[in-house]
Amino acid sequence: MAASSYDTIVVGSGPGGYVAAIRATQLGQKTAVVEYDKLGGRCLNYACIPAKAVLRSADLLSEIRESEEFGLKVSGVEVDYAAIQARREKVVSTLTSGVGGLFKKGGIDVIEGRGSLSADGDVLVQTAGGERLQLGARNVILATGSVGRPIPGVEFGGRVIGTEEAWALPEVPARLAVAGAGASGAEIASAFARLGSEVLLIEMLEGVLPSEDADISRIVERGLKRQGIAVHTSTPVTDVTADESGVTFSYGSDSTQVDYLVIAAGRGADVEGLGLAEAGVTLDERGLVQVDGALRTSRAGVYAIGDLVPGPALAHKASDEGIIAAEDIAGRPTHPLAYVDIPRATFCTPNVGSFGLTEAQAREQGHDVVVGKVPYGAVGGGTVYGDRTGMVKVVGESKYGELLGGHIVGARATELIQELVNVRALEGGFPELARIIHGHPTLSEAVMEAGRAADGWLIHG
Ligand SMILES: Cc1cc2nc3c(=O)[nH]c(=O)nc-3n(C[C@H](O)[C@H](O)[C@H](O)COP(=O)(O)OP(=O)(O)OC[C@H]3O[C@@H](n4cnc5c(N)ncnc54)[C@H](O)[C@@H]3O)c2cc1C
């Protein structure tokens, strides 16, 4: 082992790695982060943040287009896509330079290069300048994230692109196809359809957002179709051929040509060249790094977090795992993550926020299920702010009033879901939710009313 120069070395600076590094220094560990690309990881540079920056422009455009309903006549509205992209870059650089600032403040060393593990547990770094460093650390946290995976028989390249590339397209394509209607696919379709593309959204499984509650996924499908998106579910994409001018492919019994085909069909752990086998770090059958509740791998002193390990591939999950790993290294008692309670947010229009079990999952698991469903239109806020079609759905267990799951679709659903997560985290159930006073007129009153509906005494129903 090389002389131990660090207490903790983190490989990868995404929301998992950078949060782990900051927590480690807070706990007195001398820490370094190895990153070969940009600080902030894929999330800040290519994925979550750029996606939401472009979606914000699309949302604003929708509001302006609907403004007549609110008594405002706006004319001459144009999409300046170059300016949208410039704003995206500015949002990204503001946030990534913030990460750099936090590292400086915490005295965290940044080592630019590609990290891997050696057989004796050191971190090897291949720097951009061609240098090869060998660094010793008492503990290593692997946080290298994930990469997009193509669908069988299709390769990325040219106009067949992944979700990260979609948010940085050089133009608004005239015709865009998205294969995969999960969160990323639905977001891309919803943004580009509103910015002016003719969009096809094609999903192999039965509905859009197939992992969401069936009621929610139905409402989202209707919403996406209202934006002019041609949605095809239970339909595989096949026979893809691409050249410089476009992409031709089949979907079901049809075939078509588009300017770009986005493959939004899943991701895989970025373990390439990490030296895991040499270091004795075990992967599971899906190629994810096997960890215990404190994110320890099979190799003593080596932790793995974020998209590298099982659980939902979400930024906030990665960050929480980073905190757990850093605290375990520091000898603090840790709390294993309750994966089912991690909120999920999808920023297409309509917005979706959810946590926990869908109604179908709760029934399959044998719970004595009670459901409370309330449309936004049932409360004043829904009508005042112009979204009566949104819905809050609470899935509960009748005996003790436990909140098993929460599902919200409509304006601000991505923010509203947090209340249900908090109620559950603080060991409240739907009867408690039903009696918490909510401000009026807010959309959050629909969340309270869903608690009342589950408890059998919906007021505005
Ligand atoms: C288009 C898109 C939109 C998304 N939107 C959301 C969203 O809105 N909300 C949400 O919660 N999640 C979202 N996600 C998921 C989210 O991006 C991931 O869950 C999150 O980035 C995982 O964080 P991480 O720290 O594990 O890895 P990453 O963010 O992937 O960061 C890993 C870092 O490790 C670096 N790295 C890799 N290998 C090495 C190596 N050998 N040496 C040194 N550095 C290395 C990479 O360069 C990268 O910077 C989205 C994903 C995509 C693709």
Per residue in 222-243, pLDDT (tens digit) is: 999 999 999 999 999 999 999 9
Q: What is the mean pLDDT of residues 427-448?
A: 98
Backbone angles phi, psi at 221, to 5 degrees: -60, -45
**Considering only CA atoms, which residue is closest to atom 17 of ligand 1?**
43
Backbone angles phi, psi at 436, to 5 degrees: -80, 130
* 4: pLDDT strictly greater than 90: no
Distance 359 CA to ligand 1 centre (A): 30
User: Cβ distance 218 to 391 under 8 Å?
Assistant: no
Helix, strand, or coil here: 1?
Answer: coil
Percent of the chain scoring above 90 in pLDDT? 96
pLDDT at residue 223, rounded to an integer: 97
Cα atoms in the Cβ-side hemisphere of radius 13 Å centred on 415 = 5
C-alpha–C-alpha distance, residues 421 and 403, integer Å: 9
* 353: pLDDT strictly greater than 70: yes
Distance 141 CA to ligand 1 centre (A): 15
* 61: pLDDT strictly greater than 60: yes
DSSP H helices, 228-280, are 276-279
Q: What is the mean pLDDT of residues 205-223?
A: 97
pLDDT at residue 3, rounded to an integer: 52
Q: Is cis: bond before 350, omega within 30 of 0?
A: yes
C-alpha–C-alpha distance, residues 50 and 60, integer Å: 16
Closest ligand 1 atom to the C-alpha of 37? 47
Nearest to 453 by CA among 400, 378, 355, 388: 378
Cβ(221) – ligand 1 distance below 6 Å: no
Q: What is the pTM of this model?
A: 0.97
Cβ(39) – ligand 1 distance below 6 Å: no
CA dihedral (120, 126, 131, 133) in degrees, to 10, reads -30
Q: How far is CA 270 from CA 21, 306, 309, 359, 398, in A?
A: 19, 11, 10, 33, 42
**Considering only CA atoms, which residue is closest to atom 20 of ligand 1?**
315
pLDDT at residue 402, rounded to an integer: 98
- 316 in catalytic set: no
Query: Would you place residue 129 in the very low, low, confident or very high pLDDT band (cuts 50, 70, 90)?
Result: confident
C-alpha–C-alpha distance, residues 43 and 89, integer Å: 13
Residue 373 DSSP code: E
Cβ(163) – ligand 1 distance below 6 Å: yes
Query: Would you place residue 461 in the very low, low, confident or very high pLDDT band (cuts 50, 70, 90)?
Result: confident
pLDDT at residue 270, rounded to an integer: 98
pLDDT at residue 216, rounded to an integer: 98
Region class of 310: left (phi > 0), else alpha (psi between -120 and 50), else beta: beta
pLDDT at residue 281, rounded to an integer: 98
C-alpha–C-alpha distance, residues 395 and 340, integer Å: 13
* 366: pLDDT strictly greater than 70: yes
DSSP H helices, 347-435, are 359-364, 380-385, 413-425, 430-435
**Considering only CA atoms, which residue is closest to atom 43 of ligand 1?**
35
User: Cβ distance 12 to 41 under 8 Å?
Assistant: yes
Between 179 and 129, the more confident residue is 179
C-alpha–C-alpha distance, residues 456 and 404, integer Å: 17
pLDDT at residue 190, rounded to an integer: 98
Q: What is the mean pLDDT of residues 42-57?
A: 98
Cβ(47) – ligand 1 distance below 6 Å: yes
pLDDT at residue 2, rounded to an integer: 60
Helix, strand, or coil here: 256?
Answer: strand
Q: What is the mean pLDDT of residues 139-164?
A: 95
Percent of the chain scoring above 70 in pLDDT? 99
Q: What is the mean pLDDT of residues 291-297?
A: 97
Closest ligand 1 atom to the C-alpha of 307? 26
pLDDT at residue 128, rounded to an integer: 84
Ranking 1-15, 62-76, 363-377 by mean pLDDT, the lowest is: 1-15
Q: Is cis: bond before 333, omega within 30 of 0?
A: no
Helix (H) or strand (E) holding 292: none
User: Cβ distance 373 to 450 under 8 Å?
Assistant: yes
Region class of 321: left (phi > 0), else alpha (psi between -120 and 50), else beta: alpha
C-alpha–C-alpha distance, residues 270 and 328, integer Å: 24
pLDDT at residue 1, rounded to an integer: 53
Written as one string, the DSSP assignment of 111-158 is EEEEEEE-TTS-EEEEETTS-EEEEEEEEEEE---EEE-PPTT---BT
Closest ligand 1 atom to the C-alpha of 46? 1
pLDDT at residue 201, rounded to an integer: 98
Nearest to 260 by CA among 371, 195, 359, 179: 179
Question: What integer best gives the mean pLDDT of the chain?
Answer: 96
Q: What is the mean pLDDT of residues 422-426?
A: 97
Cβ(306) – ligand 1 distance below 6 Å: yes
